[in-house]
Structure formats: C-alpha cells, structure tokens
Amino acid sequence: MKVEIQQAKLVKFAKSQLQTQPWGTWDDNGGEPDGDLYLLPLREVKEFDEMEIVPGFIVYAYSEDANYCDFCGFSSRDVAYTTRPETAEAIALDEYPRFTEASDY
C-alpha cells in the first residue's frame, strides 16, 4: 500500500449546503470531518443549486488532523481532500511513515 495523491474536481460546500447530501455523508467516526473546508469529489456529490466546483487533490492516506489549511479529512475513510497542492504534499509526507514499515511504497 502507498500514499497516493490524485488531482480531482471537488465540490466546495458552505455550511448551509451540507444538508443537500444524503445522511451520513459528513460523518467521520461519529463526528464532523477534520479541516477548515467541506469538500467532496464531484463524482460523489448529489447535484444541488449553486454548486461550486473547484480544482483540487485527493490524498489516499489520512489518519489524523494536523495544522493543515484548505482541507477536509475523513480519518474513518482514510482520505483527505484539499484545494492546495502544498497541503496534499504535507498530508502525504505525514502519512508516509505509516506505510513504509510493511509496505511497498
């Protein structure tokens, strides 16, 4: 297993738009996702009025909140979304040791 960063189209949600998605979308181990933004990949979003699509990144390795900016992290799903390449790289670097002990990174 390895840390993977993938470019993607993301949907950026305002707090008032969270209810446009099915129940449980924002659940992360019984709480809200980490981060200062609400982001989901476009392919996983149920379309709604005034939807804002932004370029971003998916990091397929995420275990805990840190001092990141412009991101939305789901530790229970092992994934984070961000609008900044620097944040994607920081998350991947922080997660790298978790995958080097018994992996093929």
Does the pLDDT at position 55 exceed 50?
A: yes
Concatenating the DSSP letter of every residue in 5-44 gives EEEEEEEEE-GGGGGGS-TTTT-BTTBPPEESSEEEEGGG
Average pLDDT, the chain: 92
* CA-to-CA dists, residue 45 to 42, 72, 84, 90, angstroms: 5, 15, 20, 26
Report the predicted TM-score, pTM, of the whole model to 2 decimal places: 0.91
Q: What percent of the chain has pLDDT over 90?
A: 88
